[in-house]
Amino acid sequence: MRDGDAEIKLDARRVNFWYSDFQALHDASLAVQARKITALIGPSGCGKTTFLRIFNRMHDLVPGTRAGGEVLLDGHNVLSADTDVINLRRQVGMLFQRANPFPKSIYDNVAYGPHILGWSKQQINQIVEESLKDTGLWDEVKDRLRRSALNLSGGQQQRLCLARALAVRPEVILMDEPASALDPIATLRIEELMQDLKKRYTIVIVTHNMQQASRVSDFTAFMLMNQQRAGEVIEFGPTDDIFNRPRDGRTEDYITGRFG
């Protein structure tokens, strides 16, 4: 995809963010292309997760936060007051750092989203099966759908959370270090899934793991804390360029491991 015919799915423009009086993000911009994987990398505390959580308005859950700037999803600013946040969160799904399945059955976990949307029993059955197949879990769990999700392994639980997010048919999936709590094999499975999913979904992933970012993503944004401890996007471009021909000295320092 060359820049000319790139479809921008999620467009963050000069986003500023405050936790009460503390500014956590300064003029952060990001143009996320549709059906590509965009990675956010940078050292701890540079605002990657804060930035990510603005995209589905999860920051609303924390009292005292303020977001300035625009985040356009298909042209509509999700930060505006008249945004239907409930619908936004259906369109923009999230996978968290630690798997957080509900203490319910495997079936009920995946079915919860469609259940909220009011789909029929038949539709729900179908979407549960599809979502579990999309995350490679179907064969592993099809005989024990009614058993508790908490009995699954860590990697399986995370894939279950992914299936749960897919079941509401989002357009964008935000992933906050989804494999950081998983072993290498489970991590690899998640990465394979991502390659498969990007044919249909736009993915934004925050990751500490640079090798993962270079393996998996099409585009990478490098973030750093500035002097006032607010996060900024230092450089953004195709992953290949960022990792092999970084334009900013700080990017190069981080990538080559001189800090981070």
Partner 1 sequence: MSHPLIRSMVDRLVAGLIVLCVSVAAVPVLVLLLFVLINGLPGMLTPGFFTDPPYPQGVPGGGVLNAIIGTFEIVGIGSLLAVPVGALIGIFLSEYGRNQIGNTVRFISDVFTGLPSIAFGIFGYTVVVLTTHHFSALSASVALAVLMLPVILRATETALVLVPNSLREAGLALGAPRWRVTLEIVVPAALGGIVTGALLAMARAAGETAPLLFTAFGNDIIQTNPLQPMGALSLTIFRNALVPYPNLQQQAWAAALLLVALVAATNILARIYVRRIQR
Rounded distance between C-alpha atoms, residue 107 and residue 141, angstroms: 9
Residue whose CB is less far from partner 1, 156 or 251: 156
Residue whose CB is less far from partner 1, 118 or 249: 118
| DSSP H/E element including 232 | strand 231-238
Q: How far is the CB of 258 from partner 1 (least distance, A)?
A: 34
What single string gives the DSSP state of each residue in 89-129? HHHEEEE-SS----SSBHHHHHHHHHHHHT--HHHHHHHHH
Question: What's the angle, vertex CA 69, arms to CA 65 and CA 71, rounded to 5?
Answer: 95
Q: Within 121-209, where are the H helices?
A: 121-134, 138-141, 154-166, 184-197
Spatial neighbors of 214 by CB under 8 A, at least 6 apart, are: 220, 239, 243
The single-letter code of the amino acid at 75 is: G
Q: How far is the CB of 79 from partner 1 (least distance, A)?
A: 17
Residue whose CB is less far from partner 1, 18 or 112: 112
Q: How far is the CB of 185 from partner 1 (least distance, A)?
A: 24
Q: How far is the CB of 214 from partner 1 (least distance, A)?
A: 27
Residue whose CB is less far from partner 1, 174 or 193: 174
Residue whose CB is less far from partner 1, 48 or 89: 89
Q: Which residues pair with 70 in a beta bridge?
A: 13
Tokens of 128: 């549960």
Residue whose CB is less far from partner 1, 14 or 144: 144
Q: How far is the CB of 137 from partner 1 (least distance, A)?
A: 17
Q: How far is the CB of 26 from partner 1 (least distance, A)?
A: 25
Q: Which residues pair with 17 in a beta bridge?
A: 25, 67
DSSP-assigned letter for residue 183: -
The footprint of partner 1 (CB under 8 A) covers 56, 58, 61, 86-90, 93-94, 96, 98, 100-104, 112-113, 116-117, 161, 164-165, 168
Residue whose CB is less far from partner 1, 73 or 210: 73
Rounded distance between C-alpha atoms, residue 235 and residue 221, angstroms: 6
Inter-residue contact 124 to 132 (CB < 8 Å) = no
Rounded distance between C-alpha atoms, residue 153 and residue 103, angstroms: 14
Q: How far is the CB of 2 from partner 1 (least distance, A)?
A: 33
